[in-house]
Amino acid sequence: MSTLEVGAKAPAIKAKNQHGETVQLADFKGKKVILYFYPKDNTPGCTTEACNFRDNYQALLKDGFEVIGVSIDSEQSHQKFINKFELPFTLLADEDQKIVNDYGVWVEKNMYGKKYMGTHRTTFVIDEKGIIQHIIKKVDNKNATQQIRDLMAK
């Protein structure tokens, strides 16, 4: 699990988005960022979470947030996922697992007694200066946006 803590500087990110363009976390300096890690494009839980962010995207923008999703899927996989569900935000391809490792969300998982490595669904809320404000380790896929709003209201 992530060893990062609230108040720490968010690790730098440099990865390709769904269009093959290089995106860095530094590109969003001055904006609040919802950086969410999810296991796999086009799976039920990941689709539910992405669609929740999609459905609340305009309100999140109005609140000064940018949304960035990260998985180990390819740019092409992200493009299909975005097209299929009309996702309006950036998805980063972390095929070499650098970002998931830097954020401590690449973990051993266990399904039906079989152990394997995978991405632990985690959301980081990062402020305008690049400082981690909140870490959500138990993401409610259907209410991901509301979870963030509730934390921000505290």
81-119 pLDDT per residue, tens: 999 999 999 999 999 999 999 999 999 998 888 999 999
Over the stretch 88-98, which tens digit does the pLDDT of each residue have? 999 999 999 99
Measure Cα distances from 56 to 11, 50, 61, 88, 145 in Å: 26, 10, 9, 10, 7
pLDDT in tens, 5-46: 999 999 999 999 999 999 999 999 899 999 999 999 999 999
Strand-pair category, 65-71 with 90-93: parallel
Confidence category of residue 138, pLDDT binned at 50, 70, 90: very high
Average pLDDT over residues 48-74: 96
Provide the CATH number for the domain around residue 44.
3.40.30.10
Q: What is the DSSP string of 60-126?
A: HHHTTEEEEEEESS-HHHHHHHHHHHT--SEEEE-TT-HHHHHTT-EEEEEETTEEEEEE--EEEEE
Burial of 118 (0-12, 13-18, 19+ CB in 10 A): middle
- CA dist 145 and 120 (Å) reads 18
Residue 26 lies in a domain: yes
pTM (2 d.p.): 0.95
Q: Is residue 9 situated within a structural domain?
A: no
- What's the mean pLDDT in 145-154? 90
Task: Indicate if the pLDDT at residue 154 is higher than 80.
Answer: no
Establish if 69 belongs to a structural domain: yes
Look at residue 120 and tell me if it is in a domain.
Answer: yes
- Give a yes or no: residue 105 inside a domain: yes
SS3 content of the chain, % helix, strand, coil (to 5): 35, 30, 35
Distance CA 121, CA 36 (A): 8
Is 2 contained in some domain?
A: no
* Domain assignment of residue 117, yes or no: yes
What total of structural domains would you count in the chain? 1
Name the active-site residue from 15, 46, 132, 144: 46
Main-chain phi, psi angles of 65, to 5 degrees: -100, 150
Does the pLDDT value for residue 3 go beyond 90? no
pLDDT band at 1 (very low <50, low <70, confident <90, very high): low
Question: Is residue 8 situated within a structural domain?
Answer: no
Which domain does 141 fall in, by range?
Answer: 14-153
**Cβ count within 10 A of residue 100:** 23
Q: Is 46 a catalytic residue?
A: yes
